[in-house]
């Protein structure tokens, strides 16, 4: 199968790959409170395109994806299967709310380099062997607040998030740390993701009397929350915000015209309809090698980038492709630019990785989203050592 012209450079050129496969793994939260697997689907499409066009110097990529079902024990078993049984040389395109916290030490102990398509919990960004493509929901939540503070006059915020260890609380702590520096009042509404009560959450948030409410939830959880707020006719009672997780093409129709012009989201990658080289290639590859049902969302963009970068790293290795050679190549790679990113990205050495620190703002319309602010940095005090 010949890829579209836009995908040629990204996929490579040549005959279909043959020979001994190079095994790359991923762990995603596909079943559970929400399907969080779109990054692995775009990565799979990218690797299929690569395999059809020369592979890794003639060798195909065998992409192995495991579902952690949002369960730490399942995540640990999945990592053991991929690393010990399958012998993967690296991981790329993982997306999970719990996997980094469960497996970060295991990857470090086994010399596995991980380019996460989407990092969520704190451990994804505080691990020697994991480097996410995205900013992370902490920075995206903070980015939404910064924009509302600077452009809408918000001086108090409610942070609504799932109460998962080093996830929701960590998002909201970032907002609180920034708020303390700015003299901004912050409140938290944390909840069990398995027992979502949208009306109760909305009423709790409104009772705090804040200027703005940040719904820092996966889209499947955010949609009923916004629907519950509509039932109470609360559109004009607060500034309504969200991180990247609510930004996809299906969200506007899911929440309805009531919210047109009233929801702003911070996005960690470029807009889904942008016309840069990488965004165009991503969409072309998804159309040619993905399934029609695969999401075309921000997290899918992250999976595309993770697969593209690991492919470039693998192709550049002179000698045997092993866990050690891949990890060394990741740690010493030159920074790469992409129209999907606001700045250059690299894996790098060290014990923590958060290369992507800047994003954009979009406003929901009746039939989609419009860019309302171009690239700006989410100035999280926790990143002071990285920026110094």
DSSP calls for 123-172: GGTS-TTEEESS--HHHHHHHHHHHHHHHS---EEEEEEE--TTTHHHHH
Give alpha helix (H) positions in the chain. Answer: 8-11, 38-52, 72-80, 99-109, 137-151, 168-182, 198-207, 219-231, 251-255, 277-289, 298-315, 323-332, 384-387
d(CA 242, CA 222): 9
pLDDT at 22: 99
Q: By three-state DSSP, how is residue 60 classified? A: coil
Q: Which residue has the tokens 């990488």?
A: 278
Structure tokens at 321: 């492709």
pLDDT at 2: 38
Model-level pTM? 0.94
Decide the pairing of beta strands 130-132 and 113-116: parallel
Q: Which domains does the chain have, with CATH numbers?
A: 5-136+275-356 (3.40.50.2300), 137-267+359-387 (3.40.50.2300)
Q: By three-state DSSP, how is residue 90 classified? A: strand
388 residues of the chain, pLDDT tens digit each:
334 555 557 799 889 999 899 999 999 999 988 899 999 999 999 999 999 999 999 999 999 999 999 999 999 999 999 999 999 999 999 999 999 999 999 999 999 999 999 999 999 999 999 999 999 999 999 999 999 999 999 999 999 999 998 999 999 999 999 999 999 999 999 999 888 899 999 999 999 999 999 999 999 999 999 999 999 999 999 999 999 999 999 999 999 999 999 999 999 999 999 999 999 999 999 999 999 999 999 999 999 999 999 999 999 999 999 999 999 999 999 999 999 999 999 999 999 999 999 999 999 999 999 999 999 999 999 888 776 5
d(CA 66, CA 59): 22
Report the candidate in 38, 2, 116, 59 with the shortest Cα–Cα distance to residue 293. 38
| Half-sphere exposure at residue 2, Cβ-oriented, CA atoms within 13 angstroms | 2
d(CA 286, CA 161): 30
d(CA 177, CA 3): 47
d(CA 137, CA 61): 30
Report the candidate in 375, 332, 320, 379 with the shortest Cα–Cα distance to residue 354. 379
Structure tokens at 375: 């690239």
Report the candidate in 208, 207, 211, 167 with the shortest Cα–Cα distance to residue 190. 167
How buried is residue 195: exposed, middle or buried, by Cβ count under 10 Å (0-12/13-18/19+)?
exposed
**Residue 293: which residues within 8 A CB-CB, separation 6 or more?**
none
Q: Cα 182–183–188 angle (5° rounding)?
A: 100
Structure tokens at 344: 């250059």
In degrees and rounded to multiples of 5, residue 36 shows phi and psi of -120, 60
pLDDT at 117: 98
């Amino acid at each position: 199968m010949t890829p579209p012209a836009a995908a040629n450079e990204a996929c490579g050129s040549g005959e279909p790959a043959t020979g001994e496969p190079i095994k790359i793994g991923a762990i995603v939260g596909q079943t559970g409170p929400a399907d969080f697997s779109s990054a692995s689907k775009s990565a799979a499409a990218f690797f299929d395109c690569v395999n059809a066009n020369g592979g890794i110097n003639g060798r195909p990529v065998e992409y192995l994806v495991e579902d952690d079902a949002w369960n730490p024990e399942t995540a640990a078993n999945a990592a053991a299967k991929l690393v010990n049984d399958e012998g993967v040389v690296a991981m790329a395109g993982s997306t999970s709310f719990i996997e980094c916290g469960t497996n970060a030490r295991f990857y470090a102990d086994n010399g596995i380099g991980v380019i996460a398509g989407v990092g969520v919990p704190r451990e994804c960004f505080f691990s020697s062997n994991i480097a996410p493509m995205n900013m992370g929901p902490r920075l995206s939540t903070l980015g939404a607040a910064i924009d509302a503070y600077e452009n809408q006059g918000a001086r108090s915020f409610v942070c609504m998030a799932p109460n998962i260890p080093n996830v929701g609380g960590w998002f909201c702590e970032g907002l609180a740390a920034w708020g303390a520096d700015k003299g901004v009042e912050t409140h938290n509404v944390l909840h069990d993701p398995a027992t979502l009560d949208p009306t109760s959450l909305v009423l709790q948030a409104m009772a705090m009397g804040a200027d703005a409410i940040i719904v820092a939830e996966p889209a499947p959880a955010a949609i009923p929350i916004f629907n519950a707020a509509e039932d109470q006719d609360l559109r004009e009672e607060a500034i309504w915000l969200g991180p990247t997780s609510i930004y996809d093409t299906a969200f506007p129709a899911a929440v309805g015209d009531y919210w047109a012009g009233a929801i702003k989201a911070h996005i960690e990658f470029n807009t889904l309809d942008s016309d840069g080289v990488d965004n165009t290639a991503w969409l072309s590859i998804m159309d040619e090698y993905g399934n029609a049902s695969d999401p075309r969302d921000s997290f899918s963009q992250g999976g595309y980038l993770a697969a593209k970068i690991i492919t470039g790293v693998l192709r550049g290795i002179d000698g045997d492709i092993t866990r050690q050679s891949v990890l060394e190549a990741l740690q010493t790679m030159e920074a790469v630019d992409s129209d999907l990113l606001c700045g250059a990205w690299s894996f790098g050495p060290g014990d923590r990785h958060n290369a992507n620190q800047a994003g954009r703002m979009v406003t929901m319309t009746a039939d989609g989203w419009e860019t309302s602010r171009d690239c700006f940095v989410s100035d999280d005090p926790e990143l002071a050592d990285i920026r110094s």
